[in-house]
Chain A
């Protein structure tokens, strides 16, 4: 610890950042995002109102992170600040885990309780006898009223999903190799493996888009295909969104590596993105097992 402290000359002080316009811009951007969605969904405006929020958010992230990176490069952040950032990132990822937990909970509730009850099994089978006496519960299902069409095809675990599992697991490996290279000061290997990681990430997203198009055009599997389509697209969709965000974060980190921002000792941003990437990876494994496979 003392070695590292010697680097951070400001480590002997508490650090309190000066005021910044970015938080209020962030609040405004979030408000525009939400208001735009409200206006669009309520039919007040056409889709254009969805645009200002994301644009402001992109500007915000560029602006706020530039400020923070700049201050960091000037050596304004001591080790205590570094620790605060780390803890904050961990707890942020925990909140993301709980967000996915809500959707996994919906999947498990539907499969364990709602669907069997609708099919006349278990203790709460009244709806079956009163409303849908001919419904035989199975999984996958689009419900007793066949919401979204009489037939649909379920997603196979051996198709694109298997390839994507391989891709994400490999990307977990490549980012770990990149991290070791960073700590060993081997910059050439770091650049290559980090680039490989985000390329794998974008490949995953592209393949998932291909999978979605196939589902919509050939399998009659849509977001509106009863509870199966609902849980499939909501879970994999939110995951795909997180992979996209993670891959963009990896690109930013890669650009910062090219500019020589990280030292073998201090590279919080790299680690934060790596944690996030592993989190996305673990969520995918759960998706593969519970959504595609079982």
Chain B
């Protein structure tokens, strides 16, 4: 083992492949990551268009734009597109770009599987979106697909089931790739507890994905066989139960929300130390907190269905286990705050998004605690309060973290700086409008406005108008984002290898833009130490 990791690049991959083959036959983690991010961006704007349509319908009472069926389809497709089309693929895209760079690897462990994971997505998206054009319209039973309602839709029912199967296969294969890459391709010396937190967060996320996506596949398979082949899973007359679907679905569904947010925790743990110019406070506590959240996510699903009819003992169990999640999450929030404490702070766009995440995600966390309490949940359940809650954790939570991550690593990817002034405009427009959009929904929910409804009593009009105005501004300001990225790639000023002087980690030891095969030679201990200390 004289020079165990001497680089001798294979002739086939010294050069970038040209033309369409580079993308269709891709094996490069950066190319695949880029395709994932572009796909996520397209889905984000399609899901966003559905959201704009929803807010337009709700601008005032009277059902002026869509009939209830179309409205329900828009709500359902907005959720499916945003969760499975935008946020999850965006995280996989970021994992693809960053994990090999951050652990000192040349690429993902299974590059062809990686390509398969990506290319399933456009097909699944096509299947899902084309359901708008079949008899009966797009699925309209909500993204939770509860039977028997879900089975009562027309030709779109098997389309959404099989689209979910495709998306699930893609996620499982992608997650296996992430786990294997992290466990097997770390540079010598990159022990588990030296890994950047984004990598840790993704390792745990990937574990959750492999554990729960098959359960979702099982749940939608049962829907399919109940509908087409006469099984009785969710049919009480045959000895089954529609509530059973809810249990199986939420056994997937709760870990799923951590799948959406854990990588965000990783990103925030990278950005805040960089712009505080201090190491992350309590690194190991952060790792253990992430793992604890993942473990707890498997035993809290019942809090999504307190009002469905459940023994009191089960309600108590799910209430207490849910409130336990506040402990590791609190550890994280306090550690981020402690990292900023007496730091030398500066507020570049990634930091702005990270700080906004800290405040606004925490609001979503607190409203989650309110929903965790069985007696109060009886009041909030099925109202706009729930909508406000999960949009606070998903939009200024997950989506802000994705935007922050892209602003953070874009100079490394493109080798160019973006327009800071425009990016700050993007931030301020987003952060103000997102609160105008979602904060009034708390009031609406507490006042009794039900969610998933295409019309409402006139007394809810004022806050709905405010919320819609916030929504339109938020939607419009997101158009800045692709423009800023496009300008950056086309004509940005060249970026240094370490464009943020407080940044730590191996990715900043590579030149900007990063070479096509990130680390052909594993970084030495000296490089590792330099990356970590800087």
A residues neighboring B (CB under 8 Å): 2, 5, 11-24, 26-28, 30-31, 34-35, 37-38, 41-42, 44, 80, 83-84, 87-88, 91-92, 94-96, 98-99, 101-103, 105-106, 109-110, 113-115, 117-118, 122-124, 127, 131, 141-145, 147-148, 223-224, 226-230, 233-234
Chain A residues within 8 Å of B106, by CB: 14, 16
B210 touches A14 (CB 8 A): no
A102 touches B215 (CB 8 A): yes
Top 10 nearest A-B pairs (CB, nearest first) are A102-B218, A143-B239, A227-B239, A19-B25, A145-B237, A147-B238, A18-B12, A224-B230, A143-B238, A99-B214
Task: Give 10 A-B pairs besides A35-B162, A114-B236, A147-B237 with Cβ atoms closer than 8 angstroms.
Answer: A14-B7, A24-B24, A91-B175, A91-B176, A95-B210, A102-B219, A109-B247, A110-B233, A142-B238, A147-B238
A99 touches B244 (CB 8 A): no
Chain B residues within 8 Å of A115, by CB: 239
CA distance A127 to B233 in the complex (A): 17
Interface string of B226-252 (1 = CB under 8 A from A): 001111110111111101100110010
Interface string of B192-209 (1 = CB under 8 A from A): 000000000000000000
CA distance A229 to B226 in the complex (A): 12
B116 touches A23 (CB 8 A): yes
A30 touches B169 (CB 8 A): yes
A291 to chain B, nearest CB (A): 15
B237 to chain A, nearest CB (A): 4
A147 touches B184 (CB 8 A): no
Chain B residues within 8 Å of A145, by CB: 237-238
B304 to chain A, nearest CB (A): 16
Q: Identify which of A17, A101, A131 contacts B215 (C-beta below 8 A).
A: A101
A224 touches B112 (CB 8 A): no
14 A–B contacts from the bound complex (CB under 8 Å): A12-B1, A14-B185, A19-B22, A21-B24, A23-B25, A38-B162, A87-B184, A88-B180, A105-B248, A109-B244, A110-B241, A124-B311, A224-B229, A227-B238
Chain A residues within 8 Å of B185, by CB: 14, 80, 84
CA distance A261 to B352 in the complex (A): 57
Q: Identify which of B17, B27, B241, B311 contacts A114 (C-beta below 8 A).
A: B241
Q: Identify which of B113, B165, B214, B240 contacts A95 (C-beta below 8 A).
A: B214
Interface centre among B24, B162, B225, B251, by most A CB within 10 Å? Answer: B162
The interface residues of chain B, by DSSP majority, are classed as helix
CA distance A227 to B222 in the complex (A): 12
Chain B residues within 8 Å of A113, by CB: 241
B309 touches A124 (CB 8 A): yes
CA distance A27 to B238 in the complex (A): 37
Q: Identify which of B120, B212, B222 contacts A30 (C-beta below 8 A).
A: B120
A143 touches B10 (CB 8 A): no
B211 near A: Cβ within 8 Å? yes
B5 touches A230 (CB 8 A): no
Instruction: Please name the residue on chain A nearest to B225 by beta carbon.
Output: A234
B342 to chain A, nearest CB (A): 42
B3 near A: Cβ within 8 Å? yes
Chain A residues within 8 Å of B162, by CB: 34-35, 37-38
A2 touches B123 (CB 8 A): no
B303 to chain A, nearest CB (A): 18
A64 to chain B, nearest CB (A): 8
| 8 A Cβ contacts from B229-281 to A | 229-233, 235-241, 243-244, 247-248, 251
A20 touches B248 (CB 8 A): no
Chain A residues within 8 Å of B236, by CB: 114, 118, 127, 131, 143-144
B184 touches A84 (CB 8 A): yes
Instruction: Please name the residue on chain B nearest to A139 by beta carbon.
Output: B239
A17 touches B27 (CB 8 A): yes
Instruction: Please name the residue on chain A nearest to B11 by beta carbon.
Output: A18
Interface string of B29-45 (1 = CB under 8 A from A): 00000000000000000
A95 touches B176 (CB 8 A): yes
Chain A residues within 8 Å of B233, by CB: 106, 110, 227, 230
Instruction: Please name the residue on chain A nearest to B3 by beta carbon.
Output: A12
Q: A18-B27, A113-B241 are in contact. Are A105 and B180 (CB under 8 A)?
A: no
Chain A residues within 8 Å of B244, by CB: 106, 109-110, 114
Instruction: Please name the residue on chain B nearest to A138 by beta carbon.
Output: B239
Chain B residues within 8 Å of A15, by CB: 10
